[in-house]
Chain A
Amino acid sequence: MKLLIINGYVIDPSQGVNTGRNLLIEDGRLAGLFDVSEPAPADAEVLDATGLIVAPGFIDLHVHLREPGQEYKETIASGAAAAVAGGWTSVCAMPNTDPINDSPAVTRFIIEQGQRANLANVFPIGSITKGGEGRELAEMGEMKRAGIVAVSDDGRPVPSAGMMRRAMEYASGFDLPVVDHCEDRSLAAGGVMHEGRWSLVLGLKGMPATAEEVDAIRDCALAKLTGARVHLAHVSTRGALDAVRRAKEMGLQVTCEAAPHHWTLSDEAVKTYDTNNKMSPPLRSQDHIEALLEGLSDGTIDAIATDHAPHHADEKALEFDQAPFGITGLETAIGLAFELVHQGVITLERLVELCSTKPAKIFGLTERGTLAKGAWADVTLLDPQFQWTFDVSASKSKSRNSPFTGRSMTGAAVATIVGGRIVYLHPDFSRLTRLRTNAATR
C-alpha cells in the first residue's frame, strides 16, 4: 500500500524542511521526502497537493472526549471524527470521564475505543490522584504501562502544593509529564468569568487572573524543586506566561499550551450572557490576549491545544451562573490559528511547530510530529487561503457549544492522514480530482 503526496509544499520543523517535496507513504509509515521531479513509484496512489502545505500530523494535547460516562456529550468516535475534520491526527484525552481515568482498566478502554473508531490516534492522560480528588496518588506506573502519555487532574487542579510536589516526584520515575490546570480555588471559587470591568458590569462573579498566576508560579517553583516535566494547560494570563518564561530561562522542564479561544475572544464577549463564552480558564481582557500573542510569537508558548469540551445543548441553555464551563474546539482551532499567520503574529512554520513538532516532544510521542523516514504516516494537509465559514450545526462533534459559529476564516486543514490512511478529505477537495492512481497520471 503506497500513497504519494505530490506537488505539496512541505513544512517539517523537526528536519528543518521548508520547501516543495513529494512525500511517500508506505504501509502506514513515512518512506521519505523526494524531489518533485523524481518519478513516482508505479504502484502508488497519488494525492495532488498543489497549493497545499504538507505538515507532520497535528497533535492536540488537550481534549475531553467524555467517554466513558458522558456519551450524550461526546463519544471517542464522534470526538475523533471532529478531530480529523479539524486536521488533528492525534488527540490526548483528559481523564475527567466517569469513571475517571485513574486506573489501567479505563486507560485500556479508551485506547480500545480509539482503535475501534479508527480515525485519529487517541492517547489517554491519566489522573494525578485517585478519583481526581487531590488526596492519594493514582497508579501512574500501571496506567503508563497501559498507555497513558501524561498525568493531569484537569478541571480540578491539585489544590495542595505538597500533593503536587509528590505527584511530580512520582511521575518523574515514569518519565510522565505532569499537566496542571492552574487555578487557585481560594481565589477563583464561584467565579464564572474573568474578573475585571466586564464582570462588574455584568454582575457576574469573577475569577481573577491572579488565581491562575499564583498556581503557575507555584508549579514552576515545584518544577525546580523536583526536576519534573511540568506542562501548564491552557495558559491564559500574562503572569502565568511570565512564570513559564522565567522557568525556561532557568532551564527547567516547563512547557505550556494556549487555546485558540483565549487569544481570539476577550471577556467582553460575555456581555450577551451567551454561555458559549463560558469556559475555564475564562476569556480574559485585552492585556492578557496581547501577552498570549507575544508568547505564541516568542516561543514561550509551546503548543496550541483546543481544550475541546463538549456539553449538551440543554446544559448550556442554563443561566450563565449554572451552565458548565467549556466549548468545543477541534474543528475551529486551525482556522483560528491561521488568523495569527495572516496577521503576521506567527509564521506557517511556527504554526506547524505549535501544532505538531512541539506537542509530540512534550508528551514524548515518538515517531510522530515529524515527516522523517520511518515515522508514523500522520500527515496534515493545509490550505492557507481556503475561505470558509464555520457552521456548528454541521459539526462532527455530538455537541454544539461553540461561540465561533458563523465566523468566516481563511485557512484550514483540508486533508488528514493517519497511519497512512486518508481519514478526512474536505468535500471541496474531492477524491475524483485529487486522488488518482499513478497509472492515470502517465
Chain B
Amino acid sequence: MDGARISRALARLASEIVEENHGTSDLYLVGIRRRGVPLAERMADKIADLEGVRPPVGIVDITLYRDDLSTVGAKPIVNRTELDDIENRNIVLIDDVLYTGRTIRAALDQLIDFGRPRRVQLAVLIDRGKEHRELPIQADYVGKLVPTKRSEIIKVMLNEFDEEEGVVIVERPAAAAEAV
C-alpha cells in the first residue's frame, strides 16, 4: 500500500463517517498516539473537503491505561492526552492498525474517564483480521482488511514520523519486507 492508496482509503472512510453520522455536528475525531494522530488530522481534512466543516481532533495517549505495563521492559514514555469536553459527542477513535483490540480497550477506558460520549465508533487504516482479536472489539470503518500471521508485523509508515508513506508486512523479527 503506498501513499496514494492510503489517501484514497482515508477519503472513503471520511465519506462513510459523514454518512453514518448524518454530517459533522457533534462529531469528534480522536487519534490514538502515535500514528492515529496524523491519521485523525488527515481524516478531518478529508471531511472538511466533503462538508466544508472540519471536525475537531483530540488525542489520547493510552500509556497509563495499558494492561501490560508490568511486562514491558523500560517504562514507556507518557505523552499528553489532549481532549476537550466529550460529553454527548459522537466520538470516532482513529488508529493505524487493529490487532488484539487491547489498545482500543485502553483508549475506551480513558475516554470514559473524561466523560460520557453519546456514541463511540472506531476507524482503522488496517484491520489484521478477527482471528487475532483478544477482546470483543470490531472496527466500524476499515481502510483495508489484511489477514496476517502472528509471525508478521504490519508497519504503517507516515510522513509525519517515517519520512515515507506506505504499509508493509514485516516478518518478526525483522526479515524481508513485502509490499501490501
Q: Do chains A and B touch in the complex (CB under 8 A)?
A: no
